[in-house]
Structure 1
């Protein structure tokens, strides 16, 4: 099993909207918008017009825009754009990606705050990953990891390197030898009825934050501690989490010291599934 990193649209052409207005892919500026190198985004799986962690998505987009452009994006503007995109979509079950960037290069280059442009892409929903992945560990630290920014070259590069080496995807560890995150996922570990999140510089994923809130609501023990490469064998299970795969069990992790195999762990899988279900879907 290998992770398909291509755009999964099921034969349906993506719908793109710029600042609330439909954008034809053939337009001259389409390529420029898709290739914007300075910006940030959030991705969500929408079912029946609802998404889990909607407030967290809105907060992420607003705070990241303040940091990158000097001006945030109001919840009203975001919701209006999302609702308009959904109204024009072919289904209430879709994948949505919201990109924030700026075409005003003059003001941006002068450090003057600019109102970000919003590019919304609506495509078919993405099915969860079918098989537990085998991960190959790389030493890698993403720049400004607290932002879900558009600098994803390294994530794709290491994911491809893992696949070329016969694995399914990449897992990252920092210069101290501590696990941080995976290419497009956060990662957590299970041991003795507890869920452990790596204490490292990582993107605070929306699904990760939702799961943590769900675990707290269920009074399930969780902690954030350093997870050295040398400690991997001490955990009962490992899971990858993102909007597509809220709790994808990991089959194995290969590090410079060897390979750790994980067997299915129904107890921890049930805990995470219940934590995920404890956070309701929000109507867009």
Structure 2
């Protein structure tokens, strides 16, 4: 994220532990290299899947720092940042890290710092992306950690090769996830999620819960590269794009083109609507 203008001043609205920041100490940037984050799309002061964000930030903080983040602290921090930024529609990123690495390195639990960034709202992607399948396994994938170098690197490599982004598969030839999205597939009106070492994204959890709520539970199983042509459609999903239809996936064996599939698109839309957003 671009935090700085030409003068080194903060361009987005940032708050550290509830206090606004107007400039960044370089030491703060170093400290955030060990941490985790969650990205939220706020509309009219509400967030879809907010309980999942709360659970993720608390659980990940316990794992990385030995102490969690209470729901009250998280919601108060986000509300305060939105109020002081004067925004009810925004993109919000909450980053948990610590400036007490020496204590952490001694095996002592530390209270995580919370950096809340409020940016302009991001609109959904307008075009169906064409993906390049790349073998890559993200380290500690169950954490949305701040080590995103490989995601950007492979996404850029795919773009330089004439595609829009990268789709990852593991050493066994099983599809896992995309650079900043989870992925799912549709066949005969049933949604299939790849069973692999992936980040359980918030919107993935929203859709899985919503599908179960409308009586259409989804399936999670290994998805091989060589069966991509047997699906009716493929979708990328994250907080910005709840169900972005994939235009094509290119693998070492060739390219699979996907057409619009009204049945699965309608099913996903109903599942998403079944999980209304929560007031922060």
TM category (shorter chain) comes to over 0.9
Q: Choose the corresponding residue for 1:53, options 49, 52, 67.
A: 49
Q: Choose the corresponding residue for 1:14, options 12, 15, 18.
A: 12
- Between the aligned partners of 1:82 and 1:209, the Cα distance in structure 2 is 21
Moved more, 214-223 or 252-261: 214-223
> Contact (CA 8 Å) 1:8, 1:126: kept in 2 or not?
no
1:203 matched to which residue of 2? 199
1:35-82 deviation per Cα after TM superposition (whole angstroms, max 9, x unaligned): 521100000000000000111101100000000011111111111111
1:214 matched to which residue of 2? 210
1:136 matched to which residue of 2? 132
Q: Over aligned residue pairs, what C-alpha RMSD do you find?
A: 1.5
> Contact (CA 8 Å) 1:40, 1:100: kept in 2 or not?
yes
1:269–1:34 Cα change, 3 Å: farther
Moved more, 12-21 or 42-51: 12-21
1:64 matched to which residue of 2? 60
The offset of 1:135, in angstroms, is 0.1
Q: Choose the corresponding residue for 1:39, options 35, 42, 50.
A: 35
The offset of 1:13, in angstroms, is 3.0
> Contact (CA 8 Å) 1:193, 1:221: kept in 2 or not?
no
1:62-105 deviation per Cα after TM superposition (whole angstroms, max 9, x unaligned): 00000001111111111111111111123200000000000012
Structure 1 spans left out of the alignment, 5+ residues: 1-5
1:224–1:69 Cα change, 3 Å: same
> Contact (CA 8 Å) 1:93, 1:125: kept in 2 or not?
yes
> Contact (CA 8 Å) 1:39, 1:68: kept in 2 or not?
yes
**Number of residue equivalences:** 274
Structure 2 spans left out of the alignment, 5+ residues: 5-9
Q: Which runs of 4+ in 1 moved over 6 A?
A: none
Tell me the secondary structure at the aligned position of residue 80 of structure 1. Answer: helix
- Between the aligned partners of 1:81 and 1:71, the Cα distance in structure 2 is 17
- Between the aligned partners of 1:196 and 1:210, the Cα distance in structure 2 is 15
Q: Choose the corresponding residue for 1:181, options 177, 182, 205.
A: 177
- Between the aligned partners of 1:33 and 1:172, the Cα distance in structure 2 is 32
TM-score (norm 1): 0.94
